[in-house]
Amino acid sequence: GRRAECEAAYRKAVEQAPMLGEAWWSLANLKTLRFSDADLATMEGQLAATDLVDEDRFHLHYALGKALEDAGRYEESFGHYARGAELRRVQIRYDADETTAHAARSKALFTPPFFAERRDWGSAAPDPIFVVGLPRSGSTLIEQILASHSQVEGTMELPDVIAIAKRLGGKPGKGGASHYPEALAGLDADALKALGEEYLERTRVQRKTDRPFFVDKMPNNFAHAGLIHLMLPNARIIDARRHPLGCCFSGFKQHFARGQTFSYGLTDIGRYYADYVDLMAHFDAVLPGRVHRVIYEEMVESPEAEIRRLLDHCGLPFEEACLNFHQNDRAVRTASSEQVRQPIFKDGVDQWRNYEPWLDPLKAALGPVLTAYPAAPVI
């Protein structure tokens, strides 16, 4: 939360090494800084260098995308965001078909009889509150609201559920498929309880207070909602959902420090969002009421009503501090770190509209999910 010192440190970095793309992007990623014309000229000059490495080049493209967006030069801005994403995409491995297949396999396994047979298995601990969805969906806002409650501790995006899921999937050979989620069918009550207790033990290091509840806001955990329910049946699951074009384009123009490999192509991120909506609609059907959904636009429009609904779902009494979440001085380690230090504002809700002329591939990938929002399409 020490923004002025943070900004000064990044400024010192770019003074000493103006080609250092990550420092320029880190300044842009504060979301609160406006670059000067001199800054733009310096970044453009660095991009013109023929010996600039790709790591610096794509960071500079993202930073210039943000600078030009702030200046209202949207076509140029989009060009830089797209070029940054293109350079990053060739460095990572992501297969959209694998995500779609995981959703289909999960739906096939997680049926009402499957869950009924395993009712109340797992660890009875109610401690975790999982906030899932996509990055840039308002999940950090939800975490900050919850962490402002006297009974809830905010932690960070914890990797532990994903690590457990990977272990359950085994180590498939080249081209082989993971045994997860089907491996869950072979676990008995004791094994699921052990997984829940393992998760609690693994995450204990993140808990710095004696508050009884804590938030795990790893967004990708939506893909493991079935595992969470089985091993921690009393944990809360909150689904943070934002308009598909707003959420997906915000993710597309964001360079993430790690993970979120689906976000570097408009078609990839659109398919990922559609698969997420499909899978969460399945859990709504087979476990009615298990997942509480927070629609970002509704939270922005009626914060007190939505905060009260959120706290009710978590079994927590209303506290005024949750309305004043922006006064919480806890450390925040996501791309929204500075935005959640401000009261709720509406400015970001429709920013994607400035880029609509270039979003046709995203719209096509989203399909009926786009027109059905905030509901899921009827298949």
Instruction: Mark whether 199 and 259 lie in a shared domain.
Output: yes
Q: Is residue 81 part of a domain?
A: yes
**What CATH number does residue 220 fall under?**
3.40.50.300
Characterize 296-319 residue by residue with b for buried, 16 or more Cβ atoms within 10 angstroms of its Cβ, and e for exposed.
bbebbeebeebbebbbebbebeee
Specify the number of domains making up the chain. Answer: 2
Share of the chain above pLDDT 70, in %: 93
In a domain, 261, yes or no: yes
> Is there a single domain that holds both residue 212 and residue 259?
yes
- Both 188 and 293 in one domain: the answer is yes
Of 67, 89, 111, which residue constitutes the final position of a domain? 89
Residues 269 and 324 in one domain: yes
Q: Which of the listed residues 57, 89, 121 is the one where a domain comes to its end?
A: 89
Same-domain check for residues 144 and 67: no
Is 114 in the same domain as 25?
Answer: no
Q: Is the preceding omega at residue 374 within 30 degrees of 0, hence cis? A: yes
pLDDT digits (tens, 9 = 90+) for 230-287: 999 999 999 999 999 999 999 999 999 888 999 999 999 999 999 999 999 999 999 9
Q: Is residue 378 part of a domain?
A: no
pTM of the entire predicted model: 0.92
Residue 71: which CATH number?
1.25.40
Q: What is the pLDDT of residue 345?
A: 61
> Is the per-residue pLDDT at 349 higher than 80?
no
For residue 377, tell me if it sits in a domain: no
Q: Which domain does 79 fall in, by range?
A: 3-89
Kindly state whether residues 234 and 319 are assigned to the same domain.
Answer: yes
Whether 309 maps to a domain, the answer reads yes
Domain boundary among 63, 89, 115: 89
5 band by pLDDT with thresholds 50, 70 and 90: very high
Same domain, 73 and 119: no
Average pLDDT score, the chain: 93
pLDDT digits (tens, 9 = 90+) for 154-208: 998 999 999 999 999 997 655 678 899 999 999 999 999 999 999 999 999 999 9
Residue 131's contacts (CB-CB under 8 Å, 6 or more residues apart) are: 139, 142, 143, 146, 215, 216, 217, 219, 238, 240
Banded model confidence at residue 348, pLDDT cuts 50, 70, 90? low
66 domain residue, yes or no = yes
Cβ proximity of 299 and 306 under 8 Å: yes
Share of the chain above pLDDT 90, in %: 86
- Indicate if 138 and 274 belong to the same structural domain: yes
Which pLDDT does position 7 carry in this prediction?
93
Residues 268 and 146 in one domain: yes
227 and 341 share one domain: yes
Judgement on whether residues 64 and 45 belong to the same structural domain of the protein: yes
